[in-house]
Structure 1
Amino acid sequence: MRGAVASGPAYIQSRGTAMPQSNSVGSIRELVLGHFREDLVALDLQENRFSIIPDLPVARINAFIAAGGQHDPALATALQEHGLLEKALRIRDELSSYENEGLFETRWTTPATQHSWHNPLLLWRTALTLWHTGIILKTKGYAGVVSAIKNTSVRSRAAQRPDNLQRLMAHLNRAFIIDISSNKCLAYSLALCLLARRAGHNARLVVGVRTRPFASHAWVEINKEVVNDDPNLRRKLAVILDL
């Protein structure tokens, strides 16, 4: 699977500044942040909107948070312009910076699989999950994504068959023709994550971002390994959600 460019939430760019936090499913409430090179990317879950504040060092962001928003009026103004100031001031964790490298292709395809036989019942369940995923994205956006992951626990199962995940992706590939979302990589990855969790896999949904130009992309990881995409995505993008 390759990346989808800025599909889904709108995004806004300003000249100014931004904020930090823990982006795991248990701690997310209103606002999540990522830092790509020297740009801050904020995802407002309530508004389903990305905002970009360029040329903002991580140290400045963390100092602003630690001081409760004091001593940096320019940063406070930039956040206020995006409607993010109050939400940012409720963040308590520091924002980390990552050295991103490599070329990220802004092109999306479903992943290749080694499984060709299809089970009608599993295909139906996969299609139903995909349909529900599309409804979530259209009506609730990223807030719905967080809620869906939070409410889908990893089911306790016996030892997994080695080809189980390949089976899920093969069925999802076939069902994907009915996808109704405008954010294909997110719809596919959310559906796969939910299906994998129900099948007993400890799957995580990860969303990364980049700037100049802006792009967001979603993928699934199991045991810290990408299962449906480029294995080096964490080196190429800044992670803003890890659910």
Structure 2
Amino acid sequence: MDISITDLNTALRDHPNKGELQIVEALREIGAIQETCSTYDQVEPVKLDGFFEQRWMTPIVETVQSDQRHHIRSLFEVIRAGLMMPRTSLGRIAKSLTHNRTLHEAAAISNESNFEQINNLMCSLNKAFVWDFSGNKCLTYSYALVRLARRRGIPAKLVIGVRTRPFFSHAWVELHKQVVSDAATLKQSLAVIMEV
């Protein structure tokens, strides 16, 4: 997950027959890379100079010990969110999260404890996310993470941002106004259209 796209493109330039590389096939199969079809298809509008571009993947988190209950809840949320996404709208998502909001948001829980707990939730969710077939990975992941976090009294927020030219939309999770499930600079690159 942490391979540099520049390094990958450099490695590919040294091999004339790119199709024979097993790493390329493996990365293509899991959806981490695909052939570049647009020179501007990233969160930050930068021109791509190679054959491949990076796609959204589950966030890299520190490996933690978690119990089986976290994995089961994460799997349930991934399946639930994956089934819901093709048949819903942003309005319904916002309504369900607003209705689902816990009273613990105002509780005086230390920020450090919240960040540690959400790291544990993301670790479990990453393992369960192989079962996602929704087609809208960032929104499904963010929705599931917010539901899991709020169930534990963590005041996480689902945020959706867009860029108009060229069009690009993305969903992420924030905790205490800090992005926890993606790059910290997302709000500088995208206009927020929904925060719930």
TM-score, shorter chain, exceeding 0.5: yes
Q: Relative to 1, partners in 2 of residues 1:158 and 1:225: Cα closer, same or farther, differing over 3 Å?
A: closer
Q: Hey, what's the Cα distance between the residues in 2 that align with 1:167 and 1:155?
A: 21
Q: Deviations along 1:139-198, whole A, 9 cap, x unmatched?
A: 213233112211212353774635211110000000001112110000001111111111
Aligned equivalent of 1:222:
175
1:232 has 2:180 as partner: no
Aligned equivalent of 1:114:
62
Instruction: Choose which of 175, 191, 195 in structure 1 pairs with 2:128.
Output: 175
The one-letter amino acid of 2:73's match is R
Q: Select between 158-167 and 220-229 the one with higher mean Cα deviation.
A: 158-167
Give the secondary-structure state (helix, strand or coil) at the position aligned to 1:129. helix
Give the secondary-structure state (helix, strand or coil) at the position aligned to 1:202. coil
Instruction: Choose which of 153, 158, 164 in structure 2 pairs with 1:205.
Output: 158
1:155, 1:198 within 8 Å by CA — same for their partners in 2? Answer: no
Q: Which has the higher helix share?
A: 2
Q: Percent of counterpart pairs with the same letter?
A: 38
Higher RCO (CA-CA < 8 Å; seq separation 6+): 1
Give the secondary-structure state (helix, strand or coil) at the position aligned to 2:173. strand
Aligned equivalent of 1:137:
85
Root-mean-square deviation (Å): 2.3
Q: Hey, what's the Cα distance between the residues in 2 that align with 1:179 and 1:115?
A: 21
Q: Deviations along 1:81-130, whole A, 9 cap, x unmatched?
A: xxxxxxxxxxxxxxxxxxxx954786201101113323111100111111
Instruction: Choose which of 189, 195, 199 in structure 1 pairs with 2:148.
Output: 195
Q: Hey, what's the Cα distance between the residues in 1 that align with 2:89 and 2:76?
A: 18
Q: Hey, what's the Cα distance between the residues in 2 that align with 1:158 and 1:121?
A: 25
> Structure 2, unaligned stretches of length 5 or more?
2-42, 47-52
- TM-score (normalised: structure 2): 0.66
Aligned equivalent of 1:8:
none
- TM-score (normalised: structure 1): 0.54
